[in-house]
Amino acid sequence: MMKRRVITGMMLGAIITNGATLRVNPEPVREMDRFRLLGSNVGVFYKPREVFDADVQFYLRDLNPTYLRIPGGSWSDRYVWNGNGVYDGNKIDMSKRVKGLWQVDYSDYQPGFCLEDSQGNPYHWHGDLDVAALHDFVKDKGAEEIVTVNVGTGTPEMAAEWVRWANVKMGFGVKYWEIGNELEGFWEVGHIQADGTQMTGELYAQKFVEFAKAMKAVDPTLKIGGPVTANLRAEFLEATLRDAGDWLDFISIHTYPVEGHLEKPEEIIRQAFVLEKPIQRYRSLIERYQSARSDEIEIAITEWNSKVQEDRTTGDLLSGLWNAAFIGEMFRHQVDFATHWDLLTETEEGGHGLFQFVGRCMPKAQYWGLYLWSKHMGNQLLETELLGAENVYAFATRDAERFYVMLINVNRDERVEVDLELPQLKLSDVGRRVTLSHREYFWDPYTHQPKWSRKPSEQDFAMGGRLEVPPYSARVFELPLEGARFRSELTEGFGDEPFEIMLPEQASVDAPIEGWVLLRDDPQDPRGVLQGDGAELLVSGPAHIDVQNVSLKEAAGRFFLTPTGAGTVTVEARAGNRVVKQAVEIEKFQERTEMVWQFEDRISDWGVRSDYTVTAEDTVKPNQRVAAVEIDGFKKEMAVFTIPEGVQKKRIAGVVVELGRSADFQCQDQEVAVRVVLQSLSNHWIDLGSVIIDEEVDGWKHVEFALPDATFRQVMSGAYAVYFELYSTGGKSAPVTGKIYLDNLGFILK
């Protein structure tokens, strides 16, 4: 039975969960070079000063990944790798485009260029790097390239010439090549072909064979992979194995499994454990279509991260815990190699990258999650069984001299004590524990950058059979066998440092306010500044606080304020004889509406795209023009409006619009509705609500949709579109025709 005990007193300690047991079978169940799982992605669109920054070079070499994938995700299907004879670095010779294809002179090399669409039109920017620089970058790190060739706007000849240049002329010796990138996705250039046809699994398999034949004619030793799909459903995989399996050397999949609406750490971390059924399916398909080569065809995950949305989840400590768990999951389910997405991308809210520049390069928690596997785990995976602990996950590996146990605890306030059962082995009396927690890394939720980022701390500990894991952390226990060489790299202590309270300068009265008490400067100092385990909290002003004490044993204690009105709220933290204060100004924001689209200007200025025909109508309202969407069946995008520059995005709290319909609008035997969605870089689908079109029969309806939760305000700085979707409430696909009108589209601002 799991037991809980609480440390009481003036300072609040963490709840301790004991009675948990970890059973480890010392016989390996899988052996592999774990560095094959620690790769990343590098793009031609990076800033050179960041890519070649000395700290980036150091941290990446220290990680020691086997593979780095180029030239950069979706750019792969838009990028012409060689610009010789077409692009001189300043301008493109448009005469070299013949029937949508670019006539490159492959007798020499010049930096390549980027295309806008499947028609081959040039993009306005071509990146600050080129593929030669990326190849050199990878080799300089002692890694191997994985190259994704351009299927979206490219040809088999273009891909074969890249092989010839890279492997025959330059001697890079690139082994792994992918055919295209996520071509089942509507977002990918090449999903809709130049002739208007849509990419299917069968068409992709046909192209795969054409590309593979051309490339292996140049270098028969290549390993060629596909279908490079966007998620674990792997939509084109069966067709590729069935129709092109003889040419396939590895299956390439991408995954970002955490759904955007999940917020609780325990919900998010569970999505790291999703590979069992998909991997079983992939192996079953390999056995069905390529049984003679089932032991040869590898499985790779060449893009992965916790989620598509680049927000706080991809920046804070949880991302490091998630990454550590997912690498263990890939090891456990026999993924052969993997490359994390990615090295350096960042957004205002967070970003997928391993690094972020805050004046200087700082590794994010994502990096430290990989680092734990690089420096503190082994290549032989062991079977584990963890009993009696909630929201705690375990992995174990070994080498010839020691065992490594990784425990990941996503409980924010509970330390976990685990009894280790490792039968038939004699261990040394002293081990080492390596910890990634808030002491080592803290993400500032208001500046959206690391406040501190340090290498996981290392400490010797006496081996007593019980392993203790701090709240919200990943800890590796290195357990030497009796008589084995012992390594000790203690983290040095530092002198006393003050602590601080973190709050925003201003906040809205209608949402909870997150605050932190932090140990300052060097939170790894285990002695700290406290005469106890934490700090007592007092609040004055129009707000309630959710706790009276916070634990600072892990250098960071969180609290929430609930505003009760406008005014100044002051939080005071007391620890021993030290007192710090911090104020936040609670504002009752005035709400107003701002009309952004009134449709009186040219259609080209509306910033709209649609799967239907969109026109301007001047006969629906007296002396006014409105937008008219000509409906002919159910299609994905009714109308999508790009939010223009000048809108105060951070203040968006909802959408306003007027909707109407034409007199001849009809839909057979079903009810039709329009769904209104806000799209943000950090959450691409914020469903605001729907309007039944039947209600508009007598005229226009003015509707207002507020954000479903005040927490969505946090991602509005990255808002980029208002999305309208037509759908049947009954789920049928009966014919629907007529026009839907839109007017006075804008935002609720606070």
Mean pLDDT of 359-379: 97
Same-domain status, 581 and 601: no
Same-domain status, 371 and 409: no
524: domain CATH number? 2.60.40.10
Last residue of a domain, one of 326, 357, 376: 376
φ, ψ (nearest 5 deg) of residue 456:
-50, 135
Q: Are 95 and 101 in contact (CB under 8 A)?
A: no
* CA atoms of 185 and 191, how far apart (whole Å): 6
Dump pLDDT digits (tens) for 595-624: 999 999 999 999 999 999 999 999 988 888
pLDDT number for residue 555: 86
- Please state, rounded to an integer, the average pLDDT across all residues of the chain: 90
Would you tell me the crossing angle of helices 365-376 and 317-332 to the nearest 10 degrees? 40
Mean pLDDT of 267-277: 98
Total domains in the fold of the chain: 4
Q: Is the pLDDT of residue 475 over 70?
A: yes
Share of the chain above pLDDT 90, in %: 73
Residue partners of 243: CB distance under 8 A and separation at least 6: 202, 205, 206, 209
pLDDT number for residue 669: 63
pLDDT number for residue 494: 36
The answer to whether residue 470 is domain-embedded is: yes
Could you tell me the sign of the dihedral formed by the alpha carbons of 147, 151, 153, 155, in that order?
positive
Nearest 5°: the CA angle 510, 511, 513 is 135
Q: Are strands 736-749 and 592-597 parallel, antiparallel or unpaired?
A: antiparallel
The SS3 assignment for 169 reads helix
Q: Is the pLDDT of residue 62 over 50?
A: yes
* C-alpha closest to that of 529 among 540, 538, 521: 521
Q: Is the pLDDT of residue 309 over 90?
A: no
The answer to whether residue 493 is domain-embedded is: no
407: domain CATH number? 2.60.40.1180
Beta bridge partner(s), residue 69? 41, 146
Same-domain status, 308 and 435: no
DSSP string covering 416-438, please? EEEEEE-TT--B-SEEEEEEEST
**DSSP state, 167?**
I
Q: Are 460 and 429 in contact (CB under 8 A)?
A: no
Q: Is the pLDDT of residue 489 over 60?
A: no
Q: Is the pLDDT of residue 590 over 90?
A: no
The SS3 assignment for 38 reads coil
Tokens of 427: 């261990």
* CA atoms of 33 and 611, how far apart (whole Å): 48
CB atoms within 10 A of CB 716: 24
Last residue of a domain, one of 533, 553, 587: 587
Per-residue confidence at 734, pLDDT binned at 50, 70, 90? Answer: low
The answer to whether residue 391 is domain-embedded is: yes
Span of 153-157, 168-172, 552-556 with lowest mean pLDDT: 552-556
pTM for the predicted model, two decimal places: 0.82
Sheet holding 719-728, edge to edge: 608-609, 639-642, 719-728, 672-680, 683-692
The answer to whether residue 489 is domain-embedded is: no
Same-domain status, 660 and 517: no
* CA atoms of 220 and 218, how far apart (whole Å): 7
Q: Is the pLDDT of residue 4 over 70?
A: no
Q: Is the pLDDT of residue 192 over 60?
A: yes
φ, ψ (nearest 5 deg) of residue 583:
-115, 150
pLDDT number for residue 732: 62
pLDDT number for residue 2: 35
Same-domain status, 510 and 621: no
182: domain CATH number? 3.20.20.80
Share of the chain above pLDDT 70, in %: 93
Q: Are strands 250-255 and 298-304 parallel, antiparallel or unpaired?
A: parallel
pLDDT number for residue 530: 52
* C-alpha closest to that of 466 among 491, 436, 433: 433
* C-alpha closest to that of 418 among 26, 14, 27, 24: 24
Q: Is the pLDDT of residue 491 over 70?
A: no
Same-domain status, 215 and 320: yes
Same-domain status, 233 and 213: yes
Q: Is the pLDDT of residue 363 over 60?
A: yes
Span of 96-110, 145-159, 203-217, 669-683 with lowest mean pLDDT: 669-683
H or E element: which one contains 224?
strand 223-229
Same-domain status, 421 and 545: no
Would you tell me the crossing angle of helices 54-63 and 365-376 to the nearest 10 degrees? 40
pLDDT number for residue 507: 86
* CA atoms of 623 and 599, how far apart (whole Å): 12
Q: Are 45 and 353 in contact (CB under 8 A)?
A: no
Q: Are 586 and 543 in contact (CB under 8 A)?
A: yes
pLDDT number for residue 682: 76
Query: What one-letter code names the amino acid at 519?
Result: L
H or E element: which one contains 277?
helix 276-289
Integer distance in angstroms from the first to the last C-alpha of the chain?
A: 51
Beta bridge partner(s), residue 536? 549, 574
Beta bridge partner(s), residue 461? 431
Q: Is the pLDDT of residue 163 over 70?
A: yes
Question: Which residue's structure tokens are 């939170």?
Answer: 523
DSSP string covering 451-504, please? EEE-PPEEEEEE--SEEEE-SSEEEEEEEEBTT------PPPP-----EEEE--
Q: Is the pLDDT of residue 488 over 90?
A: no
pLDDT number for residue 17: 64
* CA atoms of 163 and 177, how far apart (whole Å): 9
Mean pLDDT of 577-603: 88
Span of 40-54, 464-478, 654-668 with lowest mean pLDDT: 654-668
Would you tell me the crossing angle of helices 276-289 and 237-244 to the nearest 10 degrees? 20
Dump pLDDT digits (tens) for 655-700: 999 999 998 888 776 788 899 999 998 788 899 999 988 755 457 8
Same-domain status, 287 and 337: yes
Same-domain status, 609 and 469: no
Per-residue confidence at 294, pLDDT binned at 50, 70, 90? Answer: very high
* C-alpha closest to that of 525 among 495, 545, 549: 495
Same-domain status, 509 and 634: no
The answer to whether residue 18 is domain-embedded is: no
User: What sections of 64-192 are H helices per DSSP?
Assistant: 131-140, 156-163
The answer to whether residue 283 is domain-embedded is: yes
Dump pLDDT digits (tens) for 405-463: 999 999 999 999 999 998 877 888 899 999 999 999 999 999 999 999 999 999 999 98
Mean pLDDT of 709-727: 88
pLDDT number for residue 3: 32
* CA atoms of 502 and 517, how far apart (whole Å): 6
474-491 burial, b at 16+ Cβ within 10 Å, e below that, comes to bbbbbbbbeeeeeeeeeb
Q: Is the pLDDT of residue 13 over 70?
A: no
Distance between alpha carbon 258 and the CA centroid of its chain, in Å?
9
pLDDT number for residue 731: 63
Would you tell me the crossing angle of helices 201-218 and 237-244 to the nearest 10 degrees? 50
Mean pLDDT of 464-479: 94
Instruction: Compare 394 and 570 and report the one with higher pLDDT.
Output: 394
Per-residue confidence at 534, pLDDT binned at 50, 70, 90? Answer: confident
* CA atoms of 115 and 193, how far apart (whole Å): 14
pLDDT number for residue 464: 83
Dump pLDDT digits (tens) for 207-250: 999 999 999 999 999 999 999 999 999 999 999 999 999 999 99
pLDDT number for residue 418: 96
Most confident listed range (15-29, 49-63, 516-530): 49-63
Q: Are 637 and 748 in contact (CB under 8 A)?
A: no
* CA atoms of 567 and 562, how far apart (whole Å): 13
Same-domain status, 153 and 279: yes
The answer to whether residue 26 is domain-embedded is: no
633: domain CATH number? 2.60.120.260
Query: What one-letter code names the amino acid at 554?
Result: E
Query: What one-letter code names the amino acid at 409?
Result: N
Q: Is the pLDDT of residue 376 over 70?
A: yes
pLDDT number for residue 528: 47
Q: Which domain holds residue 420?
A: 385-480
DSSP string covering 327-374, please? HHHHHHTT--EEEES-SS---SS--S-SEEEESEEEE-HHHHHHHHHH
pLDDT number for residue 492: 42
Last residue of a domain, one of 356, 376, 396: 376
Per-residue confidence at 12, pLDDT binned at 50, 70, 90? Answer: very low
Q: Is the pLDDT of residue 541 over 70?
A: yes
Cis peptide before 71 (omega within 30 of 0): yes
The answer to whether residue 492 is domain-embedded is: no
